[in-house]
Structure 1
Amino acid sequence: MGGTQSLALPPGKGPHQVGCADVMVGHTRQGLFLRLFYPCLPRAGAERPLWIPRYEYCRGLADFTRRSRLWCAPLFSIAIGSCKVPVSWNGPFKPCSSGYPLIIFSHGLGAFRTLYSSVCSELASWGFTVAALEHRDHSASATYFCKAEAGREEWIPYQRVPQGQKEFYFRNKQDSVDLTKVAVMGHSFGGVTAVLALVKEPSFRCAVALDAWMFPLENALYPKVPKPVLFINTEKFQTPESIAKMKRLSSRNSQTKIITILGSVHQSQTDFTFLTGKLINRFLGLRGTLDPYKGLDITSRAALAFLQRHLNLEEEFDQWDNLLEGIGDSVVPEAPFCRSKL
């Protein structure tokens, strides 16, 4: 894919068309807010939702990247504010007699519910319902809830670690997930949240952690992670210390896998990798050398193979089992820079 390609999110490659809807439960910050991706019925002239739903999220991204709202928020809005997600907004749900498996997706620090639309819609196109949460614990770049009084919103900004507080203790108590569905997935801070969810909620049968930021996970919790985890790492983010923490889990469970996608950076597993032109990419370092479409293929196919194995699905996702062993183009087992040391 050369540099002439337009800046747009890719549609799902699976056999199902994808719909999405926003769901808000409750009129307090303790309620749930999520974007649901699901297989849907075809609908002529279907509306496509904006990728950045509100201008306030542009301000939140400016705050998270430590840039001035005065110029950075308008830059985000102009550059990517008109981008739409290639799914059917509120499209009719496609009936399924056996029911679709459910994945709970947890975003990373400074993100929000739409920033992983590519991987979420890709998984939905293969027959999953994916609930992309938007956290209200100040780890999102911005979020809000609607108060009981009609039309009144309360916005919750991103919160940095307060001066004088240790980052481990501050982040460790954020972003807990207590849901009872089938599988959990997340990126960065959301990746370690997915691992923690296996401890907190017995109903989760496995976790997929995209470039997990392992730092906030307490050492005492490692022996308590009871279920398999698939760690899909990028080449430029992880450290030997972080990989060592992942290997502590894989040494306890042979079904826990660690792979690294070569030519990728931390943001390669977000939608930014598809939407940043040369200016913003150079400014924020959001794209690696690997073609982003190829990176998405590796990520989604490895996840599908892993989910089939641990959710007992009767699909053909096992055709990608080699990826779970780090076998394939642009993928290696564990981490290339520290395999000989650990």
Structure 2
Amino acid sequence: MPQPAPREPGPEPKPKATRLPAPRPPKTLRERIFHALPPYAGPYHVGYMEIEVPAQNPRHFSHIKRNGEFALKLDTVLFSIYYPSLLPEKESSSRSRTRVPWLPRPRAETCRGYALFLSIPNLPVTAYIAVTSMFTKLHAHRNAKLSDRWPMLEPAVAAVATPTSQDTLVDDDEQRDDNATDDEDQGKPKFPVIIFSHGLGGSRTAYSAVCGELASFGFVVVALEHRDGSGARTFVNKTGESADLESQDLEMTQERDDKPDKRRKRKDKKTKPYYMVDYIFPKDNALDTSPNNARGVDTELRGAQIDMRLAEIEEAFHVLREINNGRGNRIAEQNLRVKGNIGSSSRGLDGVDWADWKGRLYLENVTMMGHSFGGATTVQALTEGFGWVSQGIVVDIWGPAVPESTTTHSTQKKPLLSVGSEAFMHWKDNFDRVERICKDTRTSGALCWMTTIRGSTHLFPTDFALLYPNWMSLLMKTIVNPRRAISLTVHSALEFLKITLPPHQTRFSHAWADEELLRHADDSETQVLYDHRPDDKWVAARLKIANEFSLRLRSWLPWRKQDAGVPRDASGKPLAGLLNWGPGKEVWVHLSPDRNKY
């Protein structure tokens, strides 16, 4: 296995003065009443942009049709960008600090999409989500200014603690060094890039906790919303060309239609400036995601969806390159998420200073990251020859969805981190497929880790785990505290990227949280327990908790014994949930490189 190039740490910034970021906003009244997401832990505030632009190469994928039309059509690409932002105090009460709603617009339609995806009645789902999360906001500010400052921590603090809102940041004009690049010589940091691919039923905001947390540590995270029929519901705004084609079809239809009422209804349907994409269930095999499905994965549909996802990733990368090359204004002109179009904020991209973005992104070493089906997409992206993708992070990957040709005939040669759930660890076929991918990666000479977060279930990296922790605990038997599971995922990713990214992209890694989750044990020392393996019919769906009733009762009693030495969240609850394992025992490492290789 080739050893990574020796690191030559650049000179640390030596500021003459420091600046504290604006204080985190206190909880609003609606956050105290409705479900709320936790604030991000990194030293940066987080900005947010939403972009939908026409595809460079519109086309359809596969011959699969629904309602007489091709089901997988690439007309536009939609994604959100989470990025580091430092907001001046003078903007603390201005409209520029508008926070982003968690539930994508149109909200009622999005709720109906979730009901369809879950195959349950629409009305109760829509009503429940409306009551609990309709007003939930991300801790990200729309179109905020890209940060032009560096994070700075005392070395002793950075080594043992997660940065908080009180960590200092360095003024941009007081940190020049002789070895900086042209952009860095101007005092403005460049940021590494992560492209995130969601899982089945996901969206561009469903993983805001992970994406925003990474952005708060200094990454630009592009969260795609795939329009391949893998999300619960999404809306595609039509471009001028597609709208003209619809108009021509309408005129021909009207000439053939002799009934005015039918013509009027068809006209209303045809002239909509958008179309809706719902979750596509495989024909005659709707539950192809289930471990107990004897027919297995619908390889035709899932393979076509991955092909379309890869095309969307390329389209998004093209947009990033345009922005980085100083042509952000062109992207803003093409943006379809503007006032009047469905799913859009009234602000669009108003207030974005595109000059700030010129030359501020590292696009030669992009990281691919994805959850579940997005993990399968990530593995395929690593093997597709995208020269600008240098490493990948898969979170509870759906292994059987990875094309068999990839796992049989292709060797993945780029560094890979796999963070899995305990629920999926007990799914043997999935575990074996992921282990094969990881072993092939290690055999090729690339660094690779395969880990499991103890007590977690499949939705642990999603915002649903944070917004609905009681349902996750009661229905899926999730044991780990959801906030802790997010931290373990992000901190593992930061440790992995500190090792695999080029040194010039990790110049401010001293501000990254580092619990040494990947270094604390190698695969020969890991003791995997199967105490929570469920019955076969619940494999991958939930865990099993022995003596569940008494455990829950004890955890609810106000006089319960508080175990010393167990990490706790802000409310004082044990971070490990019902069962306390303590530091260093929360992550199982199944595969890891030799320690002298990194």
Q: TM over 0.5: same fold? A: yes
- Tell me how far apart the structure 2 counterparts of residues 325 and 253 of structure 1 sit (CA, whole Å): 19
Alignment-mate amino acid for residue 332 of structure 1? W
- 2:194 aligned with 1:103, yes or no? yes
Alignment-mate amino acid for residue 278 of structure 2? P
Specify which of 172, 185, 199 is matched with residue 369 of structure 2. 185
- Tell me how far apart the structure 2 counterparts of residues 251 and 53 of structure 1 sit (CA, whole Å): 39
Task: Name which one, 1 or 2, has greater alpha-carbon Rg.
Answer: 2
Which residue does 2:303 correspond to in 1?
Answer: 172
Specify which of 40, 56, 64 is matched with residue 85 of structure 2. 40
On the 8 A contact 2:494/2:513 being kept in 1, the answer is no
Could you tell me how far 1:86 is from its partner in structure 2? Answer: 1.1
Which residue does 1:86 correspond to in 2?
Answer: 139
Alignment-mate amino acid for residue 289 of structure 1? I
* CA shift digits 1:139-197 (9 cap, x unpaired): 11111121236982221111111126962332122133243550110110001111111
On the 8 A contact 1:235/1:265 being kept in 2, the answer is yes
Distance 1:284 1:237, change over 3 A: same
Alignment-mate amino acid for residue 202 of structure 1? G
Could you tell me how far 1:111 is from its partner in structure 2? Answer: 1.0
Which residue does 2:114 correspond to in 1?
Answer: 61
- 2:428 aligned with 1:297, yes or no? no
3-state SS of 1:12 partner: coil
- 2:10 aligned with 1:10, yes or no? no
- Tell me how far apart the structure 2 counterparts of residues 5 and 322 of structure 1 sit (CA, whole Å): 37
Which residue does 2:353 correspond to in 1?
Answer: none
TM-score for both structures, normalised by structure 2 = 0.52
On the 8 A contact 2:75/2:238 being kept in 1, the answer is no
Could you tell me how far 1:219 is from its partner in structure 2? Answer: 2.8
- 2:424 aligned with 1:234, yes or no? no
Could you tell me how far 1:95 is from its partner in structure 2? Answer: 2.9
- 2:492 aligned with 1:306, yes or no? no
Distance 1:199 1:7, change over 3 A: same
% same residue = 31
Distance 1:333 1:248, change over 3 A: same
Which residue does 1:144 correspond to in 2?
Answer: 235
Which residue does 2:561 correspond to in 1?
Answer: none
Could you tell me how far 1:226 is from its partner in structure 2? Answer: 1.9
Which residue does 1:339 correspond to in 2?
Answer: none
On the 8 A contact 2:382/2:389 being kept in 1, the answer is yes
- Tell me how far apart the structure 2 counterparts of residues 293 and 164 of structure 1 sit (CA, whole Å): 35
Alignment-mate amino acid for residue 50 of structure 1? P
- Tell me how far apart the structure 2 counterparts of residues 103 and 128 of structure 1 sit (CA, whole Å): 7
On the 8 A contact 2:392/2:416 being kept in 1, the answer is yes
Could you tell me how far 1:37 is from its partner in structure 2? Answer: 0.1
On the 8 A contact 1:257/1:324 being kept in 2, the answer is yes
3-state SS of 1:86 partner: strand
Alignment-mate amino acid for residue 41 of structure 1? L
On the 8 A contact 1:257/1:325 being kept in 2, the answer is no
TM-score for both structures, normalised by structure 1 = 0.88
3-state SS of 2:38 partner: coil
- Tell me how far apart the structure 2 counterparts of residues 60 and 84 of structure 1 sit (CA, whole Å): 20
3-state SS of 2:424 partner: coil
- Tell me how far apart the structure 1 counterparts of residues 467 and 495 of structure 2 sit (CA, whole Å): 27
Unaligned runs of 5+ in 2: 1-31, 59-73, 150-187, 244-271, 287-296, 318-362, 522-583, 592-598
Q: How many residues align?
A: 330
Specify which of 138, 145, 154 is matched with residue 275 of structure 2. 154
CA RMSD of aligned residues (A): 2.5
Unaligned runs of 5+ in 1: 336-342
Distance 1:317 1:237, change over 3 A: farther
3-state SS of 1:320 partner: coil
Alignment-mate amino acid for residue 121 of structure 1? G
- Tell me how far apart the structure 2 counterparts of residues 147 and 168 of structure 1 sit (CA, whole Å): 29
Mapping of 1:20-35 within 5 angstroms? 20-26=48-54, 29-35=74-80
On the 8 A contact 2:235/2:277 being kept in 1, the answer is yes
- Tell me how far apart the structure 2 counterparts of residues 15 and 83 of structure 1 sit (CA, whole Å): 23
Distance 1:104 1:249, change over 3 A: same
Alignment-mate amino acid for residue 11 of structure 1? P
Could you tell me how far 1:202 is from its partner in structure 2? Answer: 2.6
Question: Could you tell which deviates more after superposition, 324-333 or 288-297?
Answer: 324-333
Which residue does 1:225 correspond to in 2?
Answer: 412
On the 8 A contact 1:243/1:334 being kept in 2, the answer is no
